[in-house]
Structure 1
Amino acid sequence: MKFLIISDLDNTWIGDDAATIALQQTLKEKRDRFYLVYATGRSFCSVAREMRNFWLLTGEPLLTPDYLITGVGSEIYHQGILDYHWATQISQQWDRNGVVQVTQKFPQLLPQIEPEQNPWKVSFCLHPNTKPAILNTVHEQILQLGISAKIIFSSGRDIDILPQTTDKGIAAMYLREKLQIPLNQTLVCGDSGNDLSLYQHGTRGVIVNNAQNELAQWYSQSGTANHYFAKSSYAWGILEAIDYFNLGTT
């Protein structure tokens, strides 16, 4: 039976080149025995650029994923093709124009660059002098328009507004069910607040040692036996977890 690895990219799968190369060398030996999904806040084009940069800097390619979850769960790609079934599924009760209308009232929300926006995600950086509590007011005003949305805040600055029906975790479980992989043969990997939803669906999960405080605190309060806080950082932590959970041995 195949197993499934679903990993964030920045500061998890990548971030320490030696760790990434070591992890990939280990996994190459069993590449036909697992599915690989990168789950990232980046856009599709940004992922492609980062994969190219990694190869140029290290001389080693990143492993080609079977699927890409991009935009914090707002888009799913297989072999470069957008999953339109997923797009339709998360579009219910979503009104991007309405979200933009609300957020324009808040100058404290600084829009991210256009390539990081998409039809199912509106993204900002929080002004450095602004307290995150303002996001509660933003959310309330969006809900008052009858728009079903959620706000994900991570790394102390990044804001992503998505349909209520998606995030990295929900998108990951959509693919897990599609691929028919058991929960105990699925490993999710992350380092920051926008990865938190990955750990809330009963799979195995590793939090790398360089995790942001928001994820480390969540683990200390809500982590279970299915979750492993790695002793090592970046991809070294994923290697630890594969051994810890004995993935791929059944």
Structure 2
Amino acid sequence: MVDTSPPSQVSGEEKSPDSSRRKKLLVATIAALGLTVAIQNWQDVEGLIMRYMPDWLAPPTHITGLRGTMPLAMRGGDPYIRALMRTISASESNYARPYHVLYGGRYVRNLNRHPNRCITIPVGPNKGNCSTAAGRYQFLNKTWSKMSRRYHPRPGGILLWRSYSFEPEYQDRVVHDWLSDRNYWNADIPQMLRQGKVRPVLRMLSGTWTSLGYGIETNSMSKHLPEIYERMLKEELGKSPSGLIQKPAISNENRTRRK
């Protein structure tokens, strides 16, 4: 029997496979962008919480698993100064990626130089101003410019076109040599630490790193820093038998010549 019924009509609205794939790709892209924004916003919130959380709100076990105390990127140096550096960053940059963190908790990828991004301070005594603090030790751009000229082991460029990499190893090296400079501080910090004078050292440094206590931006970590220092020192002495100073990456002679 011959089928005499009219041929079926193909709907003009039927979607091609390519069109369907494009729509799925668009939806996936929008979802990914939304997730990225959500993560970034959470980083901002986390940064503010960690920086301004009052002591009575801090969980009792918050000094365990500190992200800011992760091992240094640099090798060698004085184990007592290394422990102090990790203590400073416990309060200044307690984030998963401290070398890349900007003031407030956002991250920056490129560390070829100091990021120099001025971010508005939302609360606290400096509310309304902006801060260029960046990296593990929250260097202000002007402070990094000054200290990198004195202590950076491998500046790039020549004469007026000098450049100073902000890569993790160099952040560490500049701070290590800065803290070790008796002439700058008018004090022998390595010797003070060997004498157990941790609190006087923190007090002396609080004018530079205000979250160390004794300053205007004490935070929930500040009162725990002496304890954190002792823990970091045990780790660093374990890496450096007998507490001997390991060979630094740059000699005192070269450092003096750059000043």
- TM-score under structure 1 normalisation? 0.25
| More strand per residue | 1
| More helix per residue | 2
Determine which structure has more spread, i.e. the larger CA radius of gyration.
2
